[in-house]
């Protein structure tokens, strides 16, 4: 089959899907599927944590990591005999339909574009882009539009039980108007990932708000609204990591108040230091119903509905 | 010693009062947290004005206080004040009551927009004052200046009756803070949710002073959680408002279009303080605080049923999250909230009374009287009161401007660090 035609028809279908329903994946999974997707998995750190080998419509065709021991681990986890020494080599394999890019944050865009140049659909680890500012987001966006291939960001908070439930409540119009949301990502002690064998990793000193997707998913992933303005505070101490890092970032914790295109407020914490337990948490406050995600301090999810919303003057 | 009155031969004692006040400010911000001393020099004769919220205090049970007179514009409310405080003397207005030379101090529990006017009227007549919150309302920052100028000019004691300063949570937080348990509190939040507040917007079909008031013009309950614990000041704010086009929001004397306001404040110590004041939505009424530190965090009870929680960093204790990443594992503790109102923070005669507004009213009663008797500055004095109140005025302005970041004017004589 001519690849160009299938790509064009894919674009057409994608556009249609965008126009008709924002969250198509929420419909039940259809039983019959046209073909199996042959995936190449790159990145044996976080990339070893998915279940491609168990999906009925997926075959792990090849794996890759720059480090031999991680590559071997990918081969073992995904029961895959074919491997490459680099992403650049893997994407040349014509048998591969799609690539799972689980490489270092600052390389996501470069790697996604490299895959697409070679005609591969891509799923990428979060964040979509990092370290290259807004320019990098434009480059990614332009590439995805130009090549017309499927792009997906592997955002975990989008699939938290809380967010999936919230999307269902939202579709059923249970909330009324959600005028306020919160998304928190607390990960005290993240700096243990800043060094490996004494050398700095790509995470060393990264700015908290450059890793926002676990938090933003709790609102954008439910209502689809867009964040249009922000006021943000950073907090740091005298730690040497904050004085010398490639990101020139002086903060351990950042706290932001976003405004949305619908005039709503969204408070986001991304914190890597302090007396708090790690976790991702969302909270959606509406006029008819509110939905509070489980707190890291031990309370499960809570729904609040006022029995009587308005009280008439006497 | 006879206390401060506005006549020339008392000026010395007034100066000494001011001097002591300054010394107290310099030495310790929260003096009332020391245990209550048994012996006291004199009784304070108080006049209580405002027979609604003003009924909820315990002046008649304080060993150093005598309710000398009461007043309310409405006869039925005045009668109620006389009954509650077992007081035979009454006046038809605050303006008449403040002329009574027997009265040392006045409790002003009148309408919000009249607080500053009434406080100044009392002080002109030589009375110390305790006022309901907010310290000023509806007259912008200018009104705060007028209030501060009057308090400084007359040299009389001023206290704002902020209930959340005396919640069990805030009292405990001050004790933890004094013991340096928190490390650095880099983030705090405070929430005041009161859905259905509009029930108080009308009385017998007529609009009350609350009708349509801007949420952030009532900020003191929230400010108390951070400022009342650490004493820091709010210096910048970006605030967002939400409304739904309700007729109340389209036509009110405050020109306020918002039911709910949400603000992110920055403090003079570089910390963040998130404040919600919400009068509409699917949430339970609550006043709640949360203080997050580097060594310890203290989470106030939530309206949704979780009690207070303490979280402490535990050195190098780690856990693995479900994504396979290592992270710190702090220690958790459900905090068993002591009932401070039964402790020696209050005179014995007041410990059995269950005060209203989260148990705060007995503390407010005691603090005002005790500060007068011992010639010290009350905790929520004029500088604190303005630091609690003015940031809300600026926050509402920010919300009206769509969330613009605005600087908050500072009123402290000595720059706060």
What 3-state class would DSSP assign to A110?
Answer: helix
Angle at the Cα of A60 (from A154 to A101), degrees rounded to 5? 35
Q: What is the pLDDT of residues B222-237, one digit of tens each?
A: 999 999 999 999 999 9
Length of chain B: 417
What mean pLDDT is reported for chain A? 89
> Which one of A178-182, B286-290, B411-415 scores highest in mean pLDDT?
A178-182
Best residue of A297, A300, A311 to probe chain B, by most B CBs closer than 10 Å? A297
- Domains B8-163+343-381 and B165-339+391-407 are alike in CATH topology: no
- CA of residue A295 relative to chain centroid, distance: 21
**H or E element at residue A155:** none
Q: What is the pLDDT of residues B291-347, one digit of tens each?
A: 999 999 999 999 888 888 898 887 778 888 877 778 888 888 889 999 999 999 999
Residue B257 pLDDT: 98
Residue A29 pLDDT: 53
Neighbouring residues of A82: CB distance < 8 A, sequence distance ≥ 6: A61, A62, A63, A93
Question: Within 10 A of B141 (CB to CB), how many other CB atoms are there?
Answer: 17
> What are the C-alpha distances in Å from A181 to residues A233, A267, B139, B281, B284?
18, 6, 32, 13, 16
CB–CB contact B330 A287 (8 Å)? no
Quick one: pLDDT band at residue A30, thresholds 50, 70, 90? low
* A257: nearest CB among B238, B242, B302: B238
CB contact at 8 A, A93 and A66: no
Residue B109 pLDDT: 98
* A189: nearest CB among B201, B264, B326: B326
List chain B residues with CB under 8 Å of A285: 278, 281-283
List chain A residues with CB under 8 Å of B296: 275
Per-residue pLDDT at A18 exceeds 60? no
List chain A residues with CB under 8 Å of B303: 304
Neighbouring residues of A57: CB distance < 8 A, sequence distance ≥ 6: A33, A35, A36, A37
Q: Please state the rounded mean pLDDT for residues A12-41.
A: 60
CB–CB contact B274 A255 (8 Å)? yes
Quick one: pLDDT band at residue A28, thresholds 50, 70, 90? low
The pair of structure tokens assigned to A109 is 């865009």
Q: Please state the rounded mean pLDDT for residues A1-12.
A: 47
Backbone angles phi, psi at B68, to 5 degrees: -85, -35
CB–CB contact B292 A274 (8 Å)? yes
Sign of CA dihedral B34, B36, B40, B45: positive
Burial B95-114 (b: 16+ CB within 10 A, else e): eebbebeebbbbbbbbbbbb
CB contact at 8 A, A43 and A101: yes
Quick one: pLDDT band at residue B3, thresholds 50, 70, 90? very low
Q: What is the pLDDT of residues B14-34, one digit of tens each?
A: 444 444 444 334 333 444 444
Residue A156 pLDDT: 93
Question: Within 10 A of B255 (CB to CB), how many other CB atoms are there?
Answer: 11
Radius of gyration of chain A from its Cα atoms, rounded to whole angstroms: 21
Best residue of A252, A275, A305, A313 to probe chain B, by most B CBs closer than 10 Å? A275
* A299: nearest CB among B281, B306, B405: B306
Angle at the Cα of B336 (from B333 to B342), degrees rounded to 5? 155
Q: What is the pLDDT of residues A49-101, one digit of tens each?
A: 999 999 999 999 999 999 999 999 999 999 999 999 999 999 999 999 999 99
Backbone angles phi, psi at B225, to 5 degrees: -65, -40
* B247, burial (CB in 10 Å: exposed 0-12, middle 13-18, buried 19+): exposed
List the domain boundaries for chain B: 8-163+343-381, 165-339+391-407
CB–CB contact B186 A253 (8 Å)? yes
DSSP designation for B414 = S
Residues A197 and B109: their CA atoms lie apart, in Å, by: 66
Angle at the Cα of B20 (from B14 to B25), degrees rounded to 5? 125
Of B329 and B180, the structure prediction assigns the larger pLDDT to B180
CATH of B165-339+391-407 among 3.90.1150.10, 3.40.50.300, 3.30.70.600, 3.30.360.10: 3.30.360.10
CB contact at 8 A, B417 and B270: no
Q: Please state the rounded mean pLDDT for residues B128-144.
A: 97
Work out the minimum CA distance from A208 to partner chain B, whole angstroms: 15
The pair of structure tokens assigned to A100 is 């799972």
CB–CB contact A187 B282 (8 Å)? no
Q: Please state the rounded mean pLDDT for residues B354-360.
A: 78
Instruction: Establish how many alpha carbons lie within 13 A of residue A257's alpha carbon, considering only the half-sphere containing its beta carbon.
Output: 27
The pair of structure tokens assigned to B213 is 């008031």
DSSP designation for A29 = P
Residue with tokens 């929430």: B191
Q: What is the pLDDT of residues A100-157, one digit of tens each?
A: 999 999 999 999 999 999 999 999 999 999 999 999 999 999 999 999 999 999 999 9
List chain B residues with CB under 8 Å of A267: 262, 264, 274
Residues A168 and B370: their CA atoms lie apart, in Å, by: 57
Q: Please state the rounded mean pLDDT for residues B57-72.
A: 96
Q: What is the pLDDT of residues B81-109, one digit of tens each?
A: 999 999 999 999 999 999 999 999 999 99
Work out the minimum CA distance from B401 to partner chain A, whole angstroms: 13
Chain B nearest-CA residue for A175: B282
Residue B388 pLDDT: 97
Neighbouring residues of A5: CB distance < 8 A, sequence distance ≥ 6: none
Which of A217-226, B32-41, B244-253, B330-339 is predicted with the least confidence, judged by mean pLDDT?
B32-41
Q: What is the pLDDT of residues B248-295, one digit of tens each?
A: 999 999 999 999 999 999 999 999 999 999 999 999 888 999 999 999
Residues B343 and B4: their CA atoms lie apart, in Å, by: 31
Q: What is the pLDDT of residues A186-216, one digit of tens each?
A: 999 898 899 998 999 999 999 999 999 999 9
CB contact at 8 A, B358 and B287: yes
| Percent of chain B clearing pLDDT 70 (strictly above) | 90
CATH topology for B8-163+343-381 is Rossmann fold (3.40.50)
CB–CB contact A49 B324 (8 Å)? yes
Residues B27 and A197: their CA atoms lie apart, in Å, by: 50
What mean pLDDT is reported for chain B? 89
Taking the model in full, what pTM does it have? 0.88
List chain B residues with CB under 8 Å of A302: 304-305
Per-residue pLDDT at A220 exceeds 60? yes
Of A237 and B303, the structure prediction assigns the larger pLDDT to A237
Work out the minimum CA distance from B263 to partner chain A, whole angstroms: 8
The pair of structure tokens assigned to B52 is 């609604």
What 3-state class would DSSP assign to A42?
Answer: strand
Residues B194 and B87: their CA atoms lie apart, in Å, by: 34
Q: Are strands B65-71 and B44-49 parallel, antiparallel or unpaired?
A: parallel
Q: Are strands B44-49 and B105-108 parallel, antiparallel or unpaired?
A: parallel
Residues A18 and A14: their CA atoms lie apart, in Å, by: 6
Angle at the Cα of B14 (from B13 to B16), degrees rounded to 5? 65
Question: Within 10 A of A267 (CB to CB), how many other CB atoms are there?
Answer: 23
Residue A33 pLDDT: 55
Residues A75 and A191: their CA atoms lie apart, in Å, by: 29
């Amino acid at each position: 089959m001519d690849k160009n035609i299938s790509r064009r028809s894919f674009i057409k279908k994608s556009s249609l899907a965008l126009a008709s329903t924002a969250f198509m994946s929420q419909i039940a999974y259809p039983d019959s599927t046209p073909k199996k997707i042959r995936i190449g998995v790159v990145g044996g750190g976080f990339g070893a944590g998915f279940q491609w080998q168990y999906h009925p419509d997926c075959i792990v065709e090849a794996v890759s990591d720059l480090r031999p021991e991680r590559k071997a681990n990918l081969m073992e986890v995904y029961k895959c005999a074919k491997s490459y020494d680099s992403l650049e080599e893997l994407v040349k394999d014509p048998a591969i339909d799609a690539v799972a890019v689980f490489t270092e944050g600052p390389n996501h865009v470069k790697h996604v574009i490299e895959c697409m140049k070679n005609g591969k659909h891509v799923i990428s680890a979060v964040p979509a882009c990092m370290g290259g500012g807004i320019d990098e987001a434009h480059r990614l966006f332009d590439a995805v539009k130009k090549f017309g291939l499927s792009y997906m960001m592997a955002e975990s908070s989008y699939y938290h039980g809380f967010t999936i439930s919230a999307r269902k409540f939202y579709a059923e119009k249970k909330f009324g108007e959600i005028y306020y949301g919160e998304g928190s990502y607390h990960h005290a002690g993240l700096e243990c990932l800043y060094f490996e064998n004494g050398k700095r990793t790509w995470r060393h000193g990264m700015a908290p708000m450059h890793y926002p997707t676990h938090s933003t998913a709790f609102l954008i992933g439910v209502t689809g609204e867009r964040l249009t303005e922000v006021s943000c505070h950073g907090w740091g101490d005298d730690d040497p990591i904050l004085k010398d890092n490639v990101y020139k970032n002086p903060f351990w914790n950042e706290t932001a108040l976003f405004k949305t295109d619908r005039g709503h407020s969204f408070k986001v914490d991304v914190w890597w230091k302090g007396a708090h337990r790690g976790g991702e948490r969302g909270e959606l406050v509406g006029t008819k119903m509110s939905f509070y995600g489980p707190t890291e301090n031990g309370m499960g999810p809570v729904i609040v509905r006022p029995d009587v919303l308005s009280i008439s003057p006497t | 010693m006879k206390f401060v009155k506005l006549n020339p031969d008392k000026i010395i004692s007034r100066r000494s009062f001011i001097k002591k006040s300054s010394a107290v400010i310099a030495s310790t911000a929260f003096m009332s947290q020391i245990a209550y001393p048994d012996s006291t020099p004199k009784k304070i004769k108080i006049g209580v004005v405002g027979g609604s919220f003003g009924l909820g205090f315990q002046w008649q049970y304080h060993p150093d206080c005598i309710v000398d007179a009461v007043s309310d514009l409405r006869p039925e409310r005045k009668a109620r004040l006389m009954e509650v405080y077992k007081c035979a003397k009454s006046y038809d207005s605050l303006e008449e009551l403040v002329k009574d030379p027997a009265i040392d101090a006045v409790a002003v529990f009148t309408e919000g927009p009249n607080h500053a006017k009434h406080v100044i009227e009392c002080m002109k007549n030589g009375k110390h004052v305790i006022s309901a919150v907010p310290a000023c309302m509806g007259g912008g920052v200018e009104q705060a200046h007028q209030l501060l100028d009057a308090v400084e000019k007359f040299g009389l004691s001023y206290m704002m009756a902020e209930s959340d300063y005396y919640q069990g949570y805030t009292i405990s937080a001050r004790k933890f803070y004094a013991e340096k348990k928190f490390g650095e509190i880099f983030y705090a939040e405070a929430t005041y949710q009161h859905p259905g507040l509009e029930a108080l917007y009308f009385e017998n079909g007529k609009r009350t002073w609350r009708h349509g008031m801007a949420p952030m013009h009532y900020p003191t309950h929230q400010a108390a959680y951070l400022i009342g614990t650490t004493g820091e000041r709010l210096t910048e704010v970006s605030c967002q408002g939400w409304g739904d086009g309700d007729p109340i929001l389209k036509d009110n004397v405050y020109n306020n279009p918002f039911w709910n306001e949400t603000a992110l404040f920055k403090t003079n110590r570089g910390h963040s303080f998130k404040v919600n004041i919400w009068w509409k939505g699917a949430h339970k009424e609550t006043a709640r605080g949360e203080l997050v530190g580097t060594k310890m965090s203290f989470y106030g009870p939530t309206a949704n049923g979780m009690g207070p929680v303490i979280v402490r960093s535990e050195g190098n204790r780690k856990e693995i999250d479900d994504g396979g990443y290592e992270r710190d594992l702090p220690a958790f503790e459900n905090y068993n909230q002591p009932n401070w109102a039964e402790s020696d923070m209050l005179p014995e005669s007041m410990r059995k009374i269950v005060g209203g507004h989260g148990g705060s009213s007995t503390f407010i009663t005691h603090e005002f009287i005790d500060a007068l008797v011992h010639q010290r500055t009350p905790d929520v004095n004029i500088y604190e009161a303005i630091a609690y109140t003015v940031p809300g005025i600026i926050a509402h302005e920010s919300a009206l401007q769509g969330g613009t970041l605005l600087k908050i004017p500072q009123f402290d004589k000595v720059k706060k660090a």
